Amino acid sequence: MARLLDFIVGHQKNIEKLLSLKLQKRWPHAFLFTGPNAIGKRKVALAFAQMLVCEQSETACGDCGPCLRIAKEQSENLLRLAPDASMAKPVIKVEAVREVLDSLSLSSWSGARVVLIDEAHRMNPQAANTLLKTLEEPFENVYFFLLGPDGQQFLPTIKSRCQMMSFQPLVVADLKKIKPGLADWAYQASRGQIDRLMQLTSADGIERRTESFVFLEQFFSDTEFLQNGNWRVNVKDKSWTLATISAWLQILYSVVLAQAEQKSGSSLISIEHSKYFAKIKDISSEKILSLADYLIEAERDILGNADPVLVFENMWVNYARVD
Ligand SMILES: [Zn+2]
């Protein structure tokens, strides 16, 4: 039995909406699923891909050939597009889109086909425009799922041709169902994303977080931060910087929460990191929240290829001198 819907945790409202569209035969030819990474958007898309191709049931039987092949992601009915990971800045190229669209136009095919586009916001403009033509004049019995972080990163023309559906981060209870037995602070700190949760709780993740906290302390207390170049070497490493931003966000939110609840914050932070927590607990929550907003922006800029060193220099100028 491999009915994918049965394995999905969370997203109940979205699933109900999707099921009702499916049962009322009002399924649109293209969906754009938006929301953070690693919360299950792709799993939901595959579960409904199964329903679209199943030969036995409107809501997928899980047992027929097409259902089983979708579950293994080895199905001729399932065409996938994703950014070319070998590139320095991975994008989905127009050639890849054309290849998929060409195979869709083969008339010999019978049955439904599903096109799943991971990180669809990484289509370059040419690729997006090529796809757009197909979305405007869709093939019969072909269904698209575009996945991406948020609607803002898509051309309005693409959005207007898709039914949009936004997905929320997983709640702690759902995280616990998916990955049971981890420390409570990690569930709280994961921002509802399984990839972050795993990163936070790995040995490497814990070591990195210590580094992140040491760096946060330097950020707040080093009056010669811009002159001291030592941090620049680390910050140039994008993955280090993104892990750092994530850790900083978590500690900042924990501080604000602890201030609001007048708690020590120990439930949100691992014991080994609580000493760093103590050092910034007296900064005003207003300051902390504005830095947190900036960090979210910084994360997006760095993912979009901004120079991380410049981002941190700006951030220090604007936010480090806290009173
Ligand atoms: Zn089936």
For the stretch 193-243, pLDDT in tens is 999 899 888 888 778 878 888 898 888 888 888 888 789 999 999 888 988
Nearest to 205 by CA among 299, 273, 291, 130: 273
283, pLDDT greater than 90: no
- Residue 5 Cα to ligand 1 midpoint, Å, equals 12
Q: Give residue 170's pLDDT.
A: 97
- Residue 30 Cα to ligand 1 midpoint, Å, equals 21
Average pLDDT of the residues in 124-138: 95
Q: The tokens of 179 are what? A: 């990955």
Q: Give residue 249's pLDDT.
A: 86
Those residues whose beta carbon sits under 5 angstroms from the ion ligand 1 are 54, 56, 61, 64, 67
Higher pLDDT, 259 or 119: 119
Torsion of the alpha carbons at 247, 249, 255 and 256, rounded to the nearest 10? -160
Packing angle, helices 285-303 and 238-261, rounded to 10? 160
**Mean pLDDT for the chain overall:** 89
Count Cβ atoms below 10 Å from residue 211 Cβ, excluding itself: 14
Average pLDDT of the residues in 170-189: 91
- Residue 235 Cα to ligand 1 midpoint, Å, equals 49
Q: How far apart are CA 72 and CA 287, in angstroms?
A: 48
Q: Give residue 277's pLDDT.
A: 67
Strand partners, 123: 92
- Residue 56 Cα to ligand 1 midpoint, Å, equals 5
- Residue 199 Cα to ligand 1 midpoint, Å, equals 35
- Residue 49 Cα to ligand 1 midpoint, Å, equals 11
Share of the chain above pLDDT 90, in %: 58
Q: Give residue 88's pLDDT.
A: 80
270, pLDDT greater than 80: no
Q: Give residue 309's pLDDT.
A: 93
pLDDT category at 260 given cuts 50, 70, 90 is confident
Cβ atoms of 197 and 220 within 8 Å: the answer is no
Q: Give residue 229's pLDDT.
A: 79
Q: The tokens of 151 are what? A: 């609607």
Sheet holding 163-166, edge to edge: 78-81, 113-117, 142-148, 30-34, 163-166
- Residue 67 Cα to ligand 1 midpoint, Å, equals 4
Domain ranges of the chain: 4-168, 202-320
Q: Give residue 79's pLDDT.
A: 96
- Residue 69 Cα to ligand 1 midpoint, Å, equals 10
86, pLDDT greater than 70: yes
Q: The tokens of 97 are what? A: 């889109």
Q: The tokens of 122 are what? A: 């990484």
Higher pLDDT, 284 or 182: 182
Average pLDDT of the residues in 8-23: 98
82, pLDDT greater than 80: yes
- Residue 281 Cα to ligand 1 midpoint, Å, equals 55
- Residue 140 Cα to ligand 1 midpoint, Å, equals 20
- Tell which CATH classification among 3.20.20.60, 3.40.50.720, 3.20.20.70, 3.40.50.300 matches the domain 4-168: 3.40.50.300
- Residue 182 Cα to ligand 1 midpoint, Å, equals 35
Q: What is the residue whose two structure tokens read 């039995």? A: 1
279, pLDDT greater than 80: no
- Residue 70 Cα to ligand 1 midpoint, Å, equals 9
